Structure 1
């Protein structure tokens, strides 16, 4: 499914009451630029979607945060950014297999309408068919969608040396061994190259890259390094999260509206631009929220 045109804007509101509040806040910022309430509220109406990536240690949270940053027009918050977590619009929770008690407890603490669950490291399952089947089984247990992703592929950016090695493997019909350790052969430099490639793509990623190069060769084409990297990123499943992210925008809009109302209310209580703010609050508290901007997500060749 082509999801490249699914709109998920960082500046979420282009019309309606929140757009009015944005104009008011911009004007107030020129007059009262030292007020933290204004700074915070302006961020809510202007910032890109803030996405917090969480999960148990060892689930590949940092890698997924990088992949999300590269594929989607959002601001990812990686693990450990505890202060920033409080400002998250959306949460992505990473599983790497059947959920444990700690996963269930963590998911109960997160807002369900603004949380996506992904099956990370899906490449370790050996195929997309197995990954999707496993994600479906976990989804049935959790009673919520689970999206399989391969973050390592989502971060693929091959070097010239790595690309040359892959082309050589195809040309010489060198198979990818079932034991990853058997892939580390050759002299010291080649071993270092192969170790780095295995760390960056893992076994499934290397197999996928070899298939892509070979398929192009059989069709009389030659993929260059950038094209192969882009094809690997497209195969990661990360871009497919656009649809799920877009579905959370109404709930994100409510969250941001509530924050803006709170900050404006504080300003009015302090006697700052009371009449202007009270008029804006009346529109905001009517519950009408602007529509997302019709903009596509920025990607990195996907």
Structure 2
């Protein structure tokens, strides 16, 4: 049997694409986060790891496409981060990911890394649940169309609690939690947290990354 080795993972992309948050969401403690690509006056980072995670902040621009065209398909996974900002439904992000995968001839995974990182590192507190249940029956939309609408002071006498909820779970997580509680008001915390984790889209990416990591570890 070939000797196992520890594969190198690089996480790359433009500035503010969410590389650090994605590393937290996937627990990639040993991954190498590169400097941002396409910085004026600076060369792009050398991408030579066994596995490459290329993080897009919603959509691919010309610089992303130029670099992605040079990367080896067998070592590259593309993460369409901030997928909750694409369209109005998760299906819009999934459709965008499929179209991009076809254009690039690379696997593309829609993900909300901020939500995945929260579900991995924390839990819903009593304060979170109380705030969600207070607003479970509020009209949605427009309640969760924007951060400003959800945190509006004239909505209810708890703006600080609503802002704290947004800080912990962001708008996508809050919207998913409210929808789940409308369908099942007595949903246990553990199941609600699992729903939020699934809503982040992180699991398909995690499974494919693990599969490729194992293949790289065995060696060829």
* Corresponding position of 1:202: 170
Q: Distance in 2 between matches of 1:196 and 1:50?
A: 37
* Corresponding position of 2:9: 51
Q: Do the aligned partners of residues 86 and 130 (structure 1) sit closer, same or farther apart at CA in structure 2, a change above 3 Å counting?
A: closer
Matches within 5 A, 1:199-278: 199-217=167-185, 221-224=186-189, 226-249=190-213, 252-253=216-217
Unaligned runs of 5+ in 1: 1-15, 20-44, 258-288, 290-302
Name the SS of the counterpart of 1:206 in structure 2.
helix
How far residue 121 of structure 1 moved from its aligned partner, in angstroms, is 0.7
Q: Distance in 2 between matches of 1:228 and 1:54?
A: 32
| Aligned residues: CA RMSD | 3.0
Q: Distance in 2 between matches of 1:216 and 1:50?
A: 43
Deviations 1:133-166 (A, max 9, x none): 1111111211222111121221233333222211
Q: Distance in 2 between matches of 1:198 and 1:245?
A: 29
Decide which structure has the larger Cα Rg and report it: 1
Per the normalisation by structure 1, the TM-score is 0.57
Per the normalisation by structure 2, the TM-score is 0.76
Structure showing greater relative contact order (alpha-carbon pairs closer than 8 Å, 6 or more residues apart)? 1
Name the SS of the counterpart of 2:9 in structure 1.
strand
How far residue 96 of structure 1 moved from its aligned partner, in angstroms, is 2.9
Q: Distance in 1 between matches of 2:2 and 2:108?
A: 34
Conservation of the 8 A alpha-carbon contact between 2:12 and 2:35:
no
Unaligned runs of 5+ in 2: 37-45
Name the SS of the counterpart of 2:3 in structure 1.
helix
Q: Distance in 2 between matches of 1:177 and 1:243?
A: 30
Residue-pair matches, total: 202
Which one has the bigger helix percentage?
A: 1
Q: Distance in 1 between matches of 2:214 and 2:146?
A: 47
Conservation of the 8 A alpha-carbon contact between 1:216 and 1:223:
no
Match of 1:106 among 60, 67, 74: 67
Match of 2:125 among 159, 166, 170: 159
